[in-house]
Amino acid sequence: MKFIDKNGKLFGKISLVDIVAILAVVAIVIGGTWTVFGNQIKDVAAPNVEMTVTMRVWGTFPNMADELLKSDRRLVSGSSFVEGAKIESMTIEEYRNMMPTADGRIVEALDPVKVDVIVVVKSTVAKGTATPRIGNQEVRVARNFILKTQTCEFTARVESVVFGE
């Protein structure tokens, strides 16, 4: 018995075009199911844990820091709010910078105008994930993070990532 006969049928019973059509329909059904139920499947497969991320907005002007402090505490990713992620707290600290002196030494100096904003964000991630994310951004210590709310957008540096139980 031939694998494909002279009419193009597999084992003389089913057409190759039919097989391709059936596989396309199966792929569309699987893709649609994943789109609708994907997050629920991930939650069942890997339970979520709380993640606390501390980040610092370096050397911003006080009026911009005030805008961040009074902004909506929900984070934005793309054009929508990030589900399950929220700014827990924000504090203002003095901005210290390294400056050269007249004799060439580098010293730490307090900036007379600018401030740092320390932001603590709480979110949930899959337990044991290798790439923790808030929205579509990976979160790692020393990595830049675009801290975006409905009315503000700053570049922050991640200082710590802590996972709950």
Digit-coded pLDDT (tens) for 46-73: 788 999 999 999 999 999 999 999 998 9
Q: So what's the pLDDT on residue 33?
A: 84
Q: So what's the pLDDT on residue 74?
A: 94
- Name beta bridge partners: 92: 117
Q: pTM higher than 0.75, yes or no?
A: no
Exposed/middle/buried for 65, CB within 10 Å: 0-12, 13-18, 19+? buried
Say if residues 160 and 53 touch (Cβ distance below 8 Å).
yes
Q: So what's the pLDDT on residue 22?
A: 84
Tokens coding 20: 């391709």
Burial pattern 2-16, b for ≥16 Cβ within 10 A else e, equals: eeeeeeebeeeeeee
Confidence band for 165, pLDDT divided at 50, 70 and 90: confident
Reported as a single tens digit per residue, the pLDDT across 18-42 is: 778 888 989 999 888 878 876 666 5
